[in-house]
Structure 1
Amino acid sequence: MASTKNNHVPLMKQKSLADDDLLKLEKMELSDDEDDFQYTNVDVLDDDDEEDEEDFQSVLRNLNKGPEIDATVDDKAPSPVQKNATAPSRTVPISTQVRPSVVDDFIRNFLIKISMPRTLDTFNTEWYELMAKGKLKEEDIGVVPDIYLRNQALDDQVKALRKQLDETKKITEKAKGTWDKFRHQRDVHKMHHQRVVQEKNILMDKIKKLRKNIASYEPLLAELRTKYEVAMKEKMLMRLERDRCIAKAEALEAQVRALEQKDSKSTGSKVSPSKSTMSGSKKKKVDTKIPAENGVNPNADKRFDSVQIKRVELVKAFQGHLNSIAAIAFHPKNPVIATVSDDETWKLWSMPNCELIMSGEGHRDWIAGIEFHPRGTHIATSSGDNTVKIWDFVSASCTLTLHDHAHPVWESAFHHEGDFLASCSMDHTCKLWDLATGKCRKTFRGHVDSVNSVCFQPYTVNICTGSGDKTISIWDIRSGLCVQTFYGHQNTCNSVAFSITGDTIASCDADGFIKLWDVRMVAERATIDGGQQPLNSVAFDKSGQVIAAASDDGMIKMCNAKTFEFVADLRGHDGPVQSVKFDPVGKYIASASSDCTFRLWT
């Protein structure tokens, strides 16, 4: 290598380089066989990985071909010596010829390239000084030999290749990491899929076995269910029969006491016992005397715990009818609930399991209302066939039919003594019925639209009605006259209800508003917004502090009657809620809906 440099560098240049050690040139040869980059082996799991790695290798080969072509061109480029000699064997276009640099320019460019300004200044000073003295010969300051130019080109090429190699290494490492990550994720997904398939097969086998077991138990369960329903029905019938016997015994005792008093007063009578007996047997049923005064309300001075609205939860939902359930009612003493439906039937259910106890048929059209007798021995149903029917639990049959209304009957309500029944109808009237004779004793006229709801003021002789004419009226059953009228609703009044103390009326209308009325002051106490959907039914809890309203949006609106605020919604029904009631104990809330279900909440 040293001999090669001595053949091409002038003597003066050799001395300068030997003294200062400013420049060191080496000859380098590039070949296709040598490559400094060491490729690492990559594990391949499938054919797709091999194809991707082959593509990557082809990219590397294409990158290596570029510098090799440049080196080949440099090898074939004609040197200045060859151009001065005989004509070359082939013609090279002028645009591809490179003009050689003179020695001083070559040295200056080199010093500038490696950032040696002080050496450059020294060189320029000595160079121009020698030129001015004429000590530099023509052959010493000629063009730079080709070997130096070639070394410089090769050096630049090597640097470019190394830079390209470093970038390729970074790309390769990143691609390798990403590829390993993808392979790991693929293996994890394969393993997870296999586990899911195994678990699925196991679950399918278990489901098949469970279906076989259920099929084997179904006949036994059906038999047990039938026996249980029969036993529950007999149990409830026995309770009802007991209540009826107790009521009869009380009535007989009252009659005995009345007879004893009558006998004591008529001791001086000359009528013989035989004649008196005969005359008594020929007597017809006499009308029951309407109470002359209001009774004493036993709940007036009592305080009951209110329902915790925010803690109310659904206990059970049961589909009890084939059509919309229009009304629901609680038994006054026993854990029994009654429902009526548009399928023209009424049914009794046990609580809280909602087992069917009894059902009745007899109406010729939909049934809109149901009410229990205060002693719990009968129920009254009002229907679209213009009648009200009284049903006896023991015989499970209709004992009395009241049919003086000219249009469908919406609701009915018993007097607290159980001798009278009030009913409201679409014929704009409300009627008072004597249950002993089955006669209509009073007809209350005054509303100019359908009377949609009726209820007795607790332990009084007053009834309250809500009408489609947007008014609420209180009537005295003794005189048949309207005592008070409340105005304030802007749409049809659908339901009215008294608090247990009898001093407050709650009413709801088709605009979604609940209004509270003060009976003593004959004034509106508050208005509660229950939403934009119509409200169909309203009820007080036992404490009188909570109001529940059934809405057409499928929810039950719970409100505070003391602060007059809406508190919460009870959600669960899939259709409009038609009726809502609190049980006498204050533990449950019952609701009936057009989705053919009734629900218990606690």
Structure 2
Amino acid sequence: MAAQRGMPNSSLRVLEEALGMGLTATGDARDTADAVAAEGAYYLEQVTITDTSEDDCEYEEIQDDNFSIPEGEEDLAKAIQMAQEQATDTEILERKTVLPSKHAVPEVIEDFLCNFLMKMGMTRTLDCFQSEWYELIQKGVTELRTVGNVPDVYTQIMLLENENKNLKKDLKHYKQAADKAREDLLKIQKERDFHRMHHKRVIQEKTKLINDLKGLKLHYASYEPTIRVLHEKHHTLLKEKMLTSLERDRAVGQVSGLQETLKNMEIGHSYYVTEIKVDHSCEKVNTPERPTQKSLREAREQNKCKTKMKGNTKDSEFPIDMQPNPNLNVCKENLPPAKFDYKLKNIVRLHELPVSCVSVHPHKDILVSCGEDRLWKVLDIPKANVLLTGVGHTDWLSDCCFHPSGNKLATSSGDTTVKLWDLCKGNCILTFEGHGHAVWSCTWHSCGDFVASSSLDKTSKIWDVNSERCRCTLYGLTGSVDRFVFFWDARTGKCEQSLYGHMHSVNDAVFAPRGHMIASCDACGVTKLWDFRKLLPIVSIDIGPSPGNEVNFDSSGRVLAQASGNGVIHLLDLKSGQIHKLLGHEREAHTVVFSHDGEILFSGGSEGTVQTWS
């Protein structure tokens, strides 16, 4: 190989010596690997020298005096060991367990030779080699491109050591992470055990509460009949209290009259003593009555009232002129400001079934509610106490309305009847029968002698309270599924005007307390305001898709309340057009009404409750 590159004989001899030493080192690689690695010298594993030369240069071989052929059994054993080691090295090389050598650059070859010669103490050969080597490199005669690979074992060892250090660092990091994960696992296991114990305790407490609740329900069920009896006694005592107050007022009036008579007698100098008769009714009040005597007395009074009403069979006269509206004379400056910031103040459960209507007394702080449980109840507004309960209808109640004087009440029901009630006694004084189906609504005339009712039989009737009969039947509802709003003349029984504009069934219509406006709502939540003089719609407001069940104005006529099917009470500002919402009903809201001063709002819904907003 040296001859092919044109290397001088002296350099060739140096190279052969180096290669010879390298081969010897390779043969003893197993024994001297640690020594070579410690000294930092490079070695050649295999070198092939060809006899042919491209330049036909001759060279002399350098004899190695130290080389000897092994003889005897010891040398044979060494040879066999060397052969086995070479076979093992070949197998390792075939498995590619040793990292492959990189391509050697000229500087690597030069450093290898220089280091080897310096190690061996061959300074003259080193000087000769360096002078001839650099001379050939400068002349460009030596070509190093075909030089074979020289193993960079130390570089590979350094890389492996660095990799080993990195792996040790990673191992340490992983150990720390594993320790931390182990600690976290122990902590989580402790927390799991704690929460499991807490969960078991909560389950035990829940089971105990469920058992206690069942016991309380059984306990309540055992006391419920007693509570019902106490409620009935309470209502009876309230009725007796009202009767006692009325009789007391009557007695006070009689005493006042006697005092006036005595005063007049003293003024007229009449000194004779008048005979005073004792009224037996007063004695009965002062003395306790037995239940039988009380029931007989109430039956006699009821019969007297019925006889008195039946005796007056004369029909009432329809008012010729319209009565003036007192609200029209009120100045706008005296009206209270419109109010929208209502807050839920109180919830009173009055009925077991949904509330269908709520009406406010015309003069007192009293309201009445009727529900689908066939009852109507009078409620004291400030204290929320039930003053009176009416029982008499055989089916659900749909509507109620106070007499203009406030001492009577009209109710309509699904049993096709309209009943009139005396609020002083809580008794039914008159029943109107004539509708073929359920009666949806009823209302008093402003004069107090007539009651109007509308029914599912597509008729409306005008009832005369004095003659106790139907005076007129109007064929066609005033607001119904035909999407019309009709206006009737009760004197002639004819339809005077009609309003058309709703696209769905009309559920309610009401007059404004001041002016010429009418409000109506339909089954899809659309509320319309109409000008009664022009018979044209003023504005249409869509608050759907839930149906609007009832609409009502406040006393000023500037706020309109709508009870919606989704449980929301909508307040419409008729001046600005803004809509305010009151959220309180869990289910459908059926009715809504303002107090006379507009400070309080009442609403009833499917929960059987009456809610107070202020």
- Measured against the shorter chain, the TM-score band is 0.5 to 0.7
1:252-401 matched pairs, under 5 angstroms: 284-300=312-328, 301-302=330-331, 303-305=334-336, 308-313=339-344, 315-316=346-347, 318=349, 320-321=351-352, 323-351=353-381, 354-401=384-431
The Cα offsets for residues 221-240 of structure 1, whole Å up to 9 and x where unpaired, read as 99899879856774577568
2:429 is the alignment partner of 1:417: no
Q: 2:497 aligns with which of 467, 480, 484?
A: 484
Structure 2: distance between partners of 1:83 and 1:223 = 130
Q: CA deviation at 1:398?
A: 1.3
Aligned position for 1:581:
593
- Counterpart of 2:299 in structure 1 is none
Shift, 1:314, TM fit: 5.8
Counterpart for residue 544 of structure 2:
531
Q: Match for 1:312: what amino acid? A: K
Alignment gaps of 5+ in structure 2 = 1-16, 22-32, 39-44, 47-65, 115-124, 137-150, 254-307
Matching residue within 445, 469, 474 for 1:439:
469
CA contact (8 A) 2:351 2:371 kept: no
TM-score (norm 2): 0.60
Deviations 1:533-570 (A, max 9, x none): 32221111222222222233333333222234433253
**Using the alignment, how far apart are the partners of 1:324 and 1:218 within structure 2?**
23
| 1:470 aligned residue (455, 476, 483) | 483
Residues of 2 paired with 1:487 and 1:593: CA distance?
29
Aligned-residue offset at 1:420: 1.9
| % same residue | 26
Q: CA deviation at 1:514?
A: 0.7
Which residue of structure 2 aligns with residue 498 of structure 1?
A: 511
Residue among 545, 560, 567 paired with 2:580: 567
Deviates more, 1:182-191 or 1:391-400: 182-191
Shift of 1:310: 4.5
Cα contact 1:328–1:337 (8 A) shared by 2 = yes
**Root-mean-square deviation over aligned CA pairs:** 5.2
Quick one: distance in 1 between partners of 2:453 and 2:592?
A: 19
The equivalent of 1:129 in structure 2 is: 131
What is the rounded CA distance, in whole Å, between the counterparts of 1:282 and 1:515 in structure 2?
A: 44
Structure 1 partner of 2:566: 553
Deviation at 1:411, TM superposition (A): 1.0
Alignment of 1:213-232 (within 5 A): none
- Partner of residue 122, structure 2: none
SS in structure 1 at match of 2:572:
strand
Q: Which amino acid aligns with 1:397?
A: N
Instruction: Identify if the C-alpha distance between structure 1 residues 242 and 489 changes in structure 2 by more than 3 Å, giving closer, same or farther.
Output: farther
Q: 1:241 to 1:286 in 2, by over 3 A?
A: farther
User: Alpha-carbon deviation of 1:211?
Assistant: 11
Contact 2:339 2:599 in 1 (8 A): no
Distance 1:493 1:281 in 2: 37
d(CA) in 1 for partners of 2:339, 2:599: 10
1:507 Cα deviation from its structure 2 partner: 0.7
Matches within 5 A, 1:40-59: none
**Larger deviation: 90-99 or 469-478?**
90-99
Distance in 1 between residues matched to 2:383 and 2:309, nearest whole Å:
48
In the alignment, structure 1 residue 518 sits paired with structure 2 residue 531? yes
Instruction: Say whether residues 1:599 and 2:611 are aligned partners.
Output: yes
Q: In terms of Rg, which structure is larger?
A: 2
Q: Spell out the pairing of 1:166-181 with structure 2 (5 A cutoff).
A: 166-181=169-184
Structure 1 CA distance, aligned partners of 2:450 and 2:546?
35
| Deviation, structure 1 residue 501 | 1.6
Q: Is the 8 A contact 1:229 1:357 kept in 2?
A: no
Q: What SS is found at the alignment partner of 2:470? A: strand
What number of residue pairs does the alignment pair up?
Answer: 463
Residues 82 and 381 of structure 1: is their aligned pair in 2 closer, same or farther, counting only changes over 3 Å? farther
Normalized against structure 1, the TM-score is what?
A: 0.61
Does the 8 Å contact 2:346/2:612 carry over to 1?
A: yes
Which residue of 2 is the match for residue 264 of structure 1? none
Label 1:494 to 1:197 Cα distance change in 2 as closer, same or farther (>3 A): closer
